[in-house]
Chains A and B, each alone.
Chain A
């Protein structure tokens, strides 16, 4: 399986090329749109890690994205300096996901039932946050603000210097660095035995269990890690948009990230990133006109991908690539060895 071969193999050359492109991009283009594309890419990466490698599909991954954003907004209004809020925006979603994950996985809940629970969690957050208008819903100095959300909080600042806040170009570099860092963390996880066990669980859960691995613990752990990354993405998104609203928890947001991941490719890390960047860009382009609705395109795309290329675009391209290079290698090989592959020679027959 192609996904299996690529586990743990780090292509540093490509990584450095990508980093260079990200570093030089501001010279060529305005960074406002690329920033949010990188944030979406990070969000998609977190789901792609969990779904593609551990086989855990969350229908409500937007819950952790929104939690990260809300945690940051509430904390920064109360604290004023952004370093601790940033950490909290990663920690809170991870802890919530840890609790929910433990509840699900130690209860042996899987596939469709896990789908219901993750979906319901994000719905609860959506309903609750939409209903928090008024003075009764205040955390410290932060008003939750119901459907209108929390506007006008302080953006990220240089750690220790609350007066030097970041926006524009520095925010872009923070997002790019966060994406590259999280990519490296994912690669690192996959290269370790932890990642190998996750892939094992995806392929055959029962066998892993019988080999003595604590499957629920592994699942809970990757669920929390993915939620932490989604929380970081949410925190960065809050900084980019400078407002958090309950829409972050909505089903539409949950569907969107899922589509980015599956279109990009399951069982790869670059697939979800590219899927999010490409489809996110399409979404922004479609947002500028009113003839065709974005959900029309996304819906049609999701159906076509599930029916046609169920593992996504990047794995399909990898397969084509592998097939092509195998053929050219075979053409270079000696005719005598090529004939051997046609079938067993008479002497070998039984």
Chain B
């Protein structure tokens, strides 16, 4: 029974992890059809921001929930203005440029922070579940992921900005003919996506030691979650996060974590072959 609880919590944590790290990428892909391959580095920068703030004596929750999204959001804005905006409509070129950006950021962070792992202690201590020792911080991450997706859904569903965003998703031309500048919408979207990546990086920083190359660990998982999910931001990301998180953890518990990850990646290939437009391209077409 306890063991089932442990497995259940780990599955939930993995789903939350995937949903959290994919949210920024999903918004940018869903609205702009732009794949940001520097997404993993945005997450990594969020982590470094949190650690730098923590070392400067700022409260860690404030650092991860406010400072990290702000800093990475500003970086995202700069990137959009200097690189992305010249490449709208050229999907492959955008991917190449952002891959370059990813390498550039890795190089810069190595230059500044050095190529050594840094970390912060988790602010929530562990607890006992029957005879198993559990990390209490994992629960916090599940909570943050839930809150984030409820908030995203609320904004998209009930606010004017959300209405414009959904409109831009379905038909950018209609939105622009109604007087909204699509370039401005895209700029805000990319900034918001970067801020979400920063949030994910900040929240995850206490769990993983950070290296300049840490982004590579996120990008592949986020990439397959978003692409397999399809164009609908919330339902797509959530459904593929649930599928991949469950498969990864069950296989991991049955064999070992590496096999779990390989199973997840192999499943992504199969799902993409069966549903080339993603899960939401096939099932819930009208969702957000």
> Are B95 and A109 closer than 8 Å at their CB atoms?
no
Q: A116-B223, A120-B224 are in contact. Are A303 and B269 (CB under 8 A)?
A: no
Q: Which of B91, B103, B111 touches A302 (beta carbons < 8 Å)?
A: B103
Rounded to whole angstroms, the CA-CA distance of A104 and B272 in the bound complex is: 9
Stretch at the interface among A152-160, A215-223, A290-298, A338-346: A290-298
User: Contact at B103–A299, with CB atoms within 8 Å?
Assistant: yes
The yes or no answer to B7 lying at the interface (CB within 8 A) is no
Whether, in the assembled complex, A87 has its beta carbon less than 8 Å from a beta carbon of chain B, the answer is no
CB of B275 to closest CB in A, whole Å: 10
User: Does A117 contact B107, Cβ atoms closer than 8 Å?
Assistant: no
B106 touches A299 (CB 8 A): yes
Q: Which of A124, A255, A299, A306 contacts B262 (CB 8 A)?
A: A124
Contacts of B106 in A (CB 8 A): 293, 295-296, 299
B234 adjacent to chain A (CB < 8 Å): no
Task: Flag if B276 contacts A295 (CB, 8 Å).
Answer: no
- Chain B residues lying within 8 Å of A128, measured Cβ to Cβ, are 258, 262
A111 at the interface (CB under 8 A from B): yes
Check B238 for interface membership: any CB of A closer than 8 A: no
Question: A127 at interface (Cβ–Cβ under 8 A)?
Answer: yes
Which residues between 89 and 140 of chain A lie within 8 Å of chain B, taking CB atoms?
103-104, 107-109, 111-113, 115-117, 119-121, 123-124, 127-128, 130-131
Interface centre among A258, A259, A298, A306 (most CB of B within 10 A): A306
Residues of A within 8 A of B110 (CB): 293, 295-296
A residues less than 8 Å from B86 (CB atoms): 307
Interface size grouping (class) on chain A: 35 or more
A182 to B102, CA, bound (A): 32
B216 interfacial by beta-carbon distance below 8 Å: yes
B19 at interface, CB cutoff 8 A = no
What 0/1 readout, one digit per residue, does chain B (200-240) give for beta carbons within 8 Å of chain A? 00000000000000001000100110010000000000000
Within 8 A of B (CB), among A228-284: 251, 255, 258-259, 262
B147 at the interface (CB under 8 A from A): no
For the complex, give the distance between the alpha carbons of A259 and B97 in Å: 10
A21: interface (CB < 8 Å): no
Please, how many angstroms separate the alpha-carbon atoms of A258 and B95 in the complex?
Answer: 12
Q: Does A300 contact B (CB under 8 A)?
A: yes
Given A111-B92, A117-B269, A299-B104: A258 and B99 within 8 A (CB)?
yes
User: Cβ of B96 < 8 Å from any Cβ of A?
Assistant: yes
Q: B265's contact among A127, A295, A307, by CB below 8 Å, is which?
A: A127
Residues of B within 8 A of A (CB): 35, 83, 86-87, 91-93, 95-97, 99-108, 110-111, 216, 220, 223-224, 227, 256, 258, 261-262, 265-266, 268-269, 272-273, 276
Which A residues have a C-beta under 8 Å from some C-beta of B? 57, 59, 103-104, 107-109, 111-113, 115-117, 119-121, 123-124, 127-128, 130-131, 251, 255, 258-259, 262, 292-303, 306-307, 310
With contacts A113-B272, A119-B220, A131-B256 known, what are 17 further pairs, Cβ within 8 A?
A57-B92, A59-B95, A103-B269, A107-B273, A109-B276, A115-B95, A117-B269, A117-B272, A128-B262, A298-B100, A299-B99, A299-B105, A302-B100, A302-B103, A303-B101, A306-B96, A306-B97
A selection of 16 A-B contacts at a CB cut-off of 8 Å is A107-B276, A115-B92, A116-B224, A117-B269, A120-B224, A120-B269, A131-B256, A251-B220, A293-B111, A295-B104, A299-B102, A303-B97, A303-B100, A303-B101, A303-B104, A306-B100
